[in-house]
Structure 1
Amino acid sequence: MTRTATVMPGSLRAGRRAALLACAMIGTVAQAQDAAPAPATTAQAPDDSTLSEIVVTAQRRSESVQNVPIAVSAFSADLLSARGIATPLQLIQYVPNLFGSNNTGLGSANAYYIRGLGNTETIATFDPPVGTYVDDIYMSRQNGNNFAFFDIDRIEVLRGPQGTLFGRNTTGGAVNVLLKRPSDEVGGFLEAAYGAYDKKLIRGSIDLPLSQAIQIKLSGYFQDDDGYVQNTTTGERLNDSDLAGIRGAVQLKFSERLTWNVAAAYMRNDGENIINYDCDPRNPSNCGGRFATTGLVTRYAPGTISPFVGLGVSGRKAGYGLGNEVDTTMYTSNLEWAGDNLTLNIITGLIDLKQQYLLDFADGRGLPNVAVPETPVRGYPSGGFDILNDGSHRQFTQEVKVNGKLFGGVIDYVGGFFYFHEENRTDFADILNLGPILGIPGNVGFPAVLADRTLRNTTNAYAGYLQVDANVTEQIKLTAGVRYTDEKKNLGISDNRAACIANLTPNCLDSRNLAVNLPSGRLAIPLEQRTKQWTPRFAVNFQPNKDMLFFASATNGFKSGGWNARGSAPNTLLPFDPEKVWSYELGAKTELFDRRLRVNVTGFWLETKALQTPSAFIDPVSGAATFITQNFADYRNRGVELEITAVPVRGLTVYANVGYQNDKYKVSDTLLPNRYGVKAVRQQQIDCLAQLAQGRIPLGPTGPNNAPDCAAGIIDANGNIAKPVRTPDVSVSFGGSYDFPIPSAGIILTPSVNALYRSSLETGTAGGTIYTGSITAPSGAVYPSNPFSGEVIAGSLTKAYWQVGAALTMRTDDNNWTLSLECENCFDKAFVQSSLVNFNYLSPPRTWQVRAKRVF
């Protein structure tokens, strides 16, 4: 890159700025008190006296976010940079009623919950209810959605179902990422950072216009760190986040009306989210970090054979080491013709995602229960409970979209056709060490293969949509829209175990065996699901002036059905039905005091039919981890979301977001099992209460003392309908930044802080939690813990918590140089983000980084 392209008039002054940045802010406060006004510069500094306008495409056309009758939180490139947001997961502290975390085990996957709708499942027969979109391309798998950003234009988080304009699998909402298109001017940025756990980061982008008709953008990023978890069994570091990506984009301007944008990107994410503890289980007095004790290694020593080869695990997954690797290749194309009153877009996307992992979900030991709440450290070299996964996921999307105006602007419309095709192949195995269950001493145990199978499933979906806005008056707009979707899914499975290949028996996981034996006879599990669904939307807007918008809406959406593909027996791969949602909203968007104050508020009422609920628990008979996904109940959530942003004085920006939710499962009163013999929730509740009356104990060891119908599904340990997961009643975030100019140095110093509070919440569908305090079983056995009350040892409950982030930034007043010191979770708060089979997954510890950025 050349200096002449970016140096402003007065090279001595530009050099002085860079030197002052290198001095790391020493003496700047004292210097500012006697500062003289600086000469005017040729660069255009952003206006810091008012709130900036953000244009969004939440209705599939460009509009100011304040004119869109949808609950949407939007972040421009400048806002993302100011708040240090570099990955999608960092958005959660800025959006009301949005909960997000890494999936259990997988640092590459983000699980989003918006207004209570979300999931932590990545198996390809289960679709996420919060859709992720990149440049209008839907990403069907959330296995690799925790990517770093390239050169970003904006991010939009749409809350509530988006079934009309975005389609299937957006019952909770959508995260819409828009990347910058190539520019017709030479420019770009280069950013580098160093931080905690030897983190090294470099990001950059450059625009290279070849002519007025051809522009090119090249972007990339690289991140490497050592991982914040110390494995005291193997001596290795875990939970690193190694990322890399490269993207090339081309913009072809054939004419003033015809433009073609194409891009190709490759992203690599080697990140895991392994169970860890803030005190070392091998040495509980050592609480100076994060610790794990699994005996699995990330790399095998030369000449060493994986323990899974000897167990007969098939394929290349048998040789995996502990960890998670995701490779995503993405191709996008958007051909646009813009007329006077009509714009036509032909949008094409192709995504190829490959994922390989070996994860231990039991830290190399047995699974906890109230008899053994803190299982002894074993360090099994084959792990405690493992999943080995070799997955390939390919999708193709094609959309034709038209938007425009009719009758002189009386009618605005957007409509189109959408096609989606997906092919998934998942080769995966489940390994459980039976040593603790069988009472086998030592650090080897008895590893057993619960299942080893290859799952193949496909989806084909066609949809047409249309939304029409009638501008009845200058103040009143009526909206009606609808989408029709025709979707077909197919499933196939084959058993990889040698015995099943040689002789197919009824216990083998094969498509030919998928059936349930009922008193009325054998009922085959269908290998195909077909859904035809209309998803309408209605809204009314009242805009008394340009600074106020009031709206009311009713929106429908649905999420695809699927299969419980994590089942390890042929009769457990049961189908579940589509999830259908109606959301009713009443809201206001206002800008006051010459755009110095922005207040947006939305009230919502959400009604969900046939909520898809994934549940994992310890089988009371076998002691193994068991997974089941079913439509256990309907779901209702109602609440309020408030977003406030203000610029009280020049340079000072403050914000506050508040979310309130009141939700519950709505359970049918039927006592009859469903068509596949699954016990009704009300019958399970009756059976649980009967077991409690006998003194039997939930979450206990296998045997007659256990209450198997309690703390399972959506029935809690007390026999009540459980509280829905990841929906704190109250969430509050607030913060601010102040630009402190130092004119004599041509520098602006900006301290910033943000804080997030969440009230208590549940992370397990049954709310099963192990507490301190002994309890006596019917047999007379005394257990050292209980499932009812006390201090939390492990399990579903997350107590209320605060989390704080902060930064100190120095930048030149032409915004060409930036140097910042940033921290996340600054007070090192450890709280539970997720749970699985009575193990907890903690939030990441405190991290910091020093970041430097040069814009040219």
Structure 2
Amino acid sequence: MRSQKNINLLFRRTAIALVAASGLNVQFAYAQSSDQAKASADNTEPKVVTVTARRREETLKDVPVSVTEIGSDQLSKNGIPDITSISQLLPSTTLSASRGTNSTLTAFMRGVGQQDPVAGFESGVGIYLDDIYLARPQGAVADIYDVERVEVLRGPQGTLYGRNTIGGAVKYITRKLGPNTDVRLKTSLGTYGQADGMITAGIPVSDTVRVGAALAKFTRNGFGKDLATGQDNYNKDITAARLSAEFTPNSDLFIRIAADTTQDDSNAKHGHRLTVGKISNAPILDNVYDSRANLNSVLGHPQQVTQSGASALLEWRLNNELTFKSITASRHDTSYAPIDFDSLNKVDFDVPAIYKNRQTSQEFQLAFNTKAVQGLAGVYYIDANAYNKFDVRLLGTSTFTQGDVDTKAWAAFADASMDLSDTVSLSAGGRYTVDQRQAAILRQIYLGTAGSPALGNPSAVLFRTDTNLSKNDLDRTDKKFTPRVSLSWKATPEQSLYASWSEGFKGGGFDPRLNIVGTKLSLDKAKKGFEPESIKTLELGLKSEFDHGRIFTNAALFHSDYRDVQIPGSIAIDTNGDGKDDSFAGVVTNAGKAKIDGLELEAVAKLSDNFRLSGMYSYIDAKYTQFIGATGADVSAQRVFQNTPRNSGNIRGTYDFELPVMGRNGKLSLIASLTHRGKTYQFETPNPILDQAAYRLWDASVVWTSSDNNLRVGLHGKNLNDARYKVAGYFFPTLGEGSVTAFYGNPRTVTATLEYRF
């Protein structure tokens, strides 16, 4: 207890000290570009940091946007394996694998996000691959390979991006191919049998044509065992590939054609029971990564997630002031997800599920850059389908649910900035969005736990149909204009202050688990679906640098007014009227009103030629001010924000020194990191069993890099204090054996890496 209090005090004092050190001249969202990382690696003065958050290159201290850029060099030196790990470096951000999955992403920023990955819901945080919005979170927990940088923008996005996202955006940006042959190899070996291998290559075919390819394999044994089947639990078996071709017929035209695919053949990931079995009295297992689940396939198919996509990018510089861009993309994915809710060796609460998603999108942009005005205008269209079907096998019945949701969205957006004086600039933008959703939902109850005809039991006997609605029944269109305006003042050449006002919007829809009979829902209310949600955010930021760029401090204060918050969830129901809960149904609540106040701080200090200290701290006070419960009463005082710790922080130190190895000049980097995350709620209702208390993670790396940057050898330790911390869970204490299960972050791991560039 005393140790935890000391840690909390340390982070608070560190945050105050960082702010005070800059005389409140602090900036929000420090962005480290590849150039910055390279400058640091070379032990030289940091170069001017540029970001492309507003679709044009600008120095970080001049852009009035909360953006963090993490370059490939920083990703490599810190041994960051996938997107979830970068959340340790980011204020107000939670990125984790969704419950019961290996590669579906749960993302939250500043209290805004989406936990449930079923069809019909879009994430509050947009995930982009080279400007292509991924409509569904399946497969989004991507291992990082062939990436130039990752950009993270917090707050509502829409005036500069193809798809409107209400909470923020995470962008993977892959490398453009260079003029010379470039081949890179990377291999990793680590604890739990980790063995990874990657190869990327870029080859110029002619002066105007270049081709590239990347192939990666990521494998690891499980952190625990499924004691019922003997399979590894929390293992990894992922294969990924990417092909691209780039054409530059002349200096004004650039074309890229790309395709990628990923296949996740990891075992089904099962949860750890937190309570003794209600019927069997099955005890709680000692190892939190162990399970007794007996469901490991769907229609005889083991757990698997496959996704692939293709895209075409065209950039045409019409003249010195105008550039036209076209982004065309198509993506699809399929998931076989055996979910054993009870995590016991019996058919008690088993849910075999299949998810299928497809999308096509088209975006046109026109960027303009004149002496008077700079900005961008565009139009965007997406046509997406999300489909899922699953059985709930519980207490002598099998409840089959099928959801088929279409999304068609159109939008026009623009954003422009102009200088009002030598030190003051104004930026304004807006977006008009039309979201149309149609859904078909079928929910049927069959006798026996052998399953439904659609999931392998053709002789199943139908007991009752609870929901049968077509796309003619479930059809809604939401329209919204969302503006953004910011004013920035360059107080000194080293300091920039900005204030911004932005609005965000996410359309309404239909819960694909809708149960009309079981929840006694009226047909009119079912056809209406759930309402869109909206947010208004006021942000004040101050960006500063000192001592000729040796110290960067970035800070912001923000206040968000969050309305009609979409909260999808599941409740236990009694389907046959015998007084016992025997199934569950999806219920979506539009919570009403909430307010979110926060502080975000990031700082980097080069304290000597060899030693650098960096850190981030965020404070979020998120409260519901109106939350109408099932009885019609306001229960906001009993509700909390999920995946939004009040305090989080990270402190990182790097010490570099020259160290020749076997006659080859190079530099050794010693890196240490401490991350703190405050108490985190899993759901909107506090749950002392599932909620995660504050915890800390210690990481360290030892990395040697040759002076020509062609060879790098590293040793990376993650979670060296071997903390056990929950990242997700299920809570159905009244169903069957009682399903109260948790999923945990990775234990202590040590990985050795070798990178070589030809």
TM-score range, shorter chain: 0.7 to 0.9
Query: SS in structure 2 opposite 1:762?
Result: coil
Distance in 2 (alpha carbons) for counterparts of 1:510 and 1:738: 63
Question: What residue number does 1:333 align with?
Answer: 312
- 1:51 to partner: Cα distance: 3.0
- Which of 643, 651, 655 is 1:726 aligned to? 643
Question: What residue number does 2:108 align with?
Answer: 113
Higher mean Cα deviation, 539-548 or 577-586? 539-548
Give the 5 Å matches for 1:204-219: 204-219=199-214
Counterpart of 1:756 in structure 2: which amino acid?
T
Question: What residue number does 1:274 align with?
Answer: 270
Deviations 1:591-632 (A, max 9, x none): 211111110001000111100112334448533444322102
Give the 5 Å matches for 1:361-440: 361-364=341-344, 379-380=345-346, 382=347, 384-406=348-370, 409-432=371-394, 434=395
Distance in 2 (alpha carbons) for counterparts of 1:628 and 1:289: 30
Counterpart of 1:741 in structure 2: which amino acid?
E
2:668 maps to 1:749: yes
2:519 maps to 1:588: no
Give the 5 Å matches for 1:231-250: 231-250=226-245
Question: What residue number does 1:290 align with?
Answer: 289
Question: What residue number does 2:68 align with?
Answer: 73
Distance in 2 (alpha carbons) for counterparts of 1:76 and 1:821: 19
Question: What residue number does 1:192 align with?
Answer: 187
Give the 5 Å matches for 1:47-196: 47-166=42-161, 168-196=163-191
Distance in 1 (alpha carbons) for counterparts of 2:504 and 2:245: 35
5+ unaligned residues in a row in structure 2: which ranges? Answer: 1-37, 454-459, 732-739
- Which of 299, 312, 315 is 1:318 aligned to? 299
**Structure 1 279/458 Cα, relative in aligned 2: closer, same or farther at 3 Å?**
closer
Distance in 2 (alpha carbons) for counterparts of 1:52 and 1:834: 41
- 1:387 to partner: Cα distance: 2.1
- Which of 742, 745, 748 is 1:840 aligned to? 742
Question: What residue number does 2:725 align with?
Answer: 831
Structure number with bigger Rg = 1
Q: CA RMSD in A?
A: 2.7
Query: SS in structure 1 opposite 2:86?
Result: helix
Q: Is the 8 A contact 2:378 2:413 kept in 1?
A: yes
Question: What residue number does 1:462 align with?
Answer: 410
Question: What residue number does 2:327 align with?
Answer: 347
Q: Is the 8 A contact 2:533 2:563 kept in 1?
A: yes
- 1:402 to partner: Cα distance: 0.7
Q: Is the 8 A contact 2:676 2:695 kept in 1?
A: yes
Query: SS in structure 2 opposite 1:142?
Result: coil
Question: What residue number does 1:483 align with?
Answer: 431
Q: Is the 8 A contact 1:764 1:834 kept in 2?
A: no
Deviations 1:17-68 (A, max 9, x none): xxxxxxxxxxxxxxxxxxxxxxxxxx99953233344433211223333322
Deviations 1:522-543 (A, max 9, x none): xxx9500101110100100112
- Which of 822, 833, 836 is 2:716 aligned to? 822
Query: SS in structure 2 opposite 1:602?
Result: strand
Distance in 1 (alpha carbons) for counterparts of 2:248 and 2:708: 30
Higher mean Cα deviation, 161-170 or 585-594? 161-170
Counterpart of 2:596 in structure 1: which amino acid?
N
- 1:286 to partner: Cα distance: 7.7
Deviations 1:793-834 (A, max 9, x none): x23x21111111111112222221111111211111001222
- Which of 723, 734, 758 is 2:677 aligned to? 758
Question: What residue number does 2:14 align with?
Answer: none
Distance in 2 (alpha carbons) for counterparts of 1:616 and 1:748: 54
Counterpart of 1:646 in structure 2: which amino acid?
A
Number of residues of Structure 1 aligned to a counterpart in Structure 2? 684
Query: SS in structure 1 opposite 2:563?
Result: strand
**Structure 1 163/666 Cα, relative in aligned 2: closer, same or farther at 3 Å?**
farther
**Structure 1 342/168 Cα, relative in aligned 2: closer, same or farther at 3 Å?**
closer
Query: SS in structure 2 opposite 1:292?
Result: coil
Give the 5 Å matches for 1:522-601: 526-569=473-516, 575-601=529-555
TM score, norm. by length of structure 1 = 0.76
Q: Is the 8 A contact 1:121 1:614 kept in 2?
A: yes
Give the 5 Å matches for 1:439-838: 446=396, 448-449=397-398, 451-495=399-443, 507-511=465-469, 526-569=473-516, 575-619=529-573, 622-623=580-581, 624-667=583-626, 679-682=631-634, 685=635, 720-743=637-660, 745-769=664-688, 794-795=689-690, 797-837=691-731, 838=740
Q: Is the 8 A contact 2:192 2:222 kept in 1?
A: yes
Query: SS in structure 2 opposite 1:544?
Result: strand
Counterpart of 2:372 in structure 1: which amino acid?
V
Query: SS in structure 2 opposite 1:527?
Result: strand
- 1:497 to partner: Cα distance: 6.6
Counterpart of 1:394 in structure 2: which amino acid?
R
Distance in 2 (alpha carbons) for counterparts of 1:568 and 1:285: 33
Distance in 1 (alpha carbons) for counterparts of 2:39 and 2:550: 20
- 1:398 to partner: Cα distance: 0.4
Q: Is the 8 A contact 1:763 1:835 kept in 2?
A: yes
**Structure 1 255/460 Cα, relative in aligned 2: closer, same or farther at 3 Å?**
same
Q: Is the 8 A contact 2:272 2:741 kept in 1?
A: no
- 1:730 to partner: Cα distance: 0.8
Counterpart of 1:416 in structure 2: which amino acid?
G
Deviations 1:215-250 (A, max 9, x none): 111112111122112122222211212211111111
Deviations 1:409-465 (A, max 9, x none): 111121011111112222222222x2xxxxxxxxxxx5x31x213321111111111
Q: Percent identity?
A: 24
Counterpart of 2:271 in structure 1: which amino acid?
I
Counterpart of 2:170 in structure 1: which amino acid?
V
**Structure 1 617/823 Cα, relative in aligned 2: closer, same or farther at 3 Å?**
farther
Query: SS in structure 2 opposite 1:124?
Result: coil
Q: Is the 8 A contact 1:45 1:815 kept in 2?
A: no
**Structure 1 385/62 Cα, relative in aligned 2: closer, same or farther at 3 Å?**
farther
Counterpart of 1:530 in structure 2: which amino acid?
T
